[in-house]
Amino acid sequence: MVITSLLGAIPGIGADILLLLWGSYSIDNTTLHRFYSLHYTLPFIILILTIVHFALLHEFGSNNSLGIAASLDNIPFLPYYGIKDVFSIIIILVFFFEFIIIAPDKLGHSDNFILANSLVTPAHIVPE
């Protein structure tokens, strides 16, 4: 509510942007559906744009600062850069799966391993 209400401070069009974003005059079920849809589809959109970017980059190459097209220094993407990219992805996935499969609690907080006891209040919870 607080973050989206900041858009209402834009002079002139802030209220209209807020109404378009919320879908109503207050945060409602429509707003939650819009934000859920945005948070669900945004990673896929970023992935598609990344793949298109890589495809265009490997098809046409990157430009140099002088703008001179010299095909003498070009080498093919496959197998040279392709193998390097696949090797990098495998190394990243090894570290990722080490935390996911082998040690999922390695980055967790130690308080999460204390058995729950409904008769004892934790020491860090105190009245104001």
Q: Count the neighbouring beta carbons within 10 Å of the beta carbon of residue 84.
A: 11
- 84 is annotated as an active-site residue: yes
- Choosing from 37, 53, 84, 88, the catalytic residue is 84
Note if 106 is an active site residue: no
**Active-site hit among 26, 62, 71, 110:** 62
Q: Torsion-angle region of residue 50: left (phi > 0), alpha (psi -120 to 50) or beta?
A: alpha
Active site residue: 59, 73, 111, 128, which one? 128
Under 8 Å between Cβ of 58 and 68: no
Q: What is the CA radius of gyration of the chain?
A: 25
**In Å, what is the CA distance from 85 to each residue of 43, 76, 97?**
21, 13, 18
**Catalytic status, residue 59:** no
Q: Among all residues, which ones are annotated catalytic?
A: 58, 62, 84-85, 128
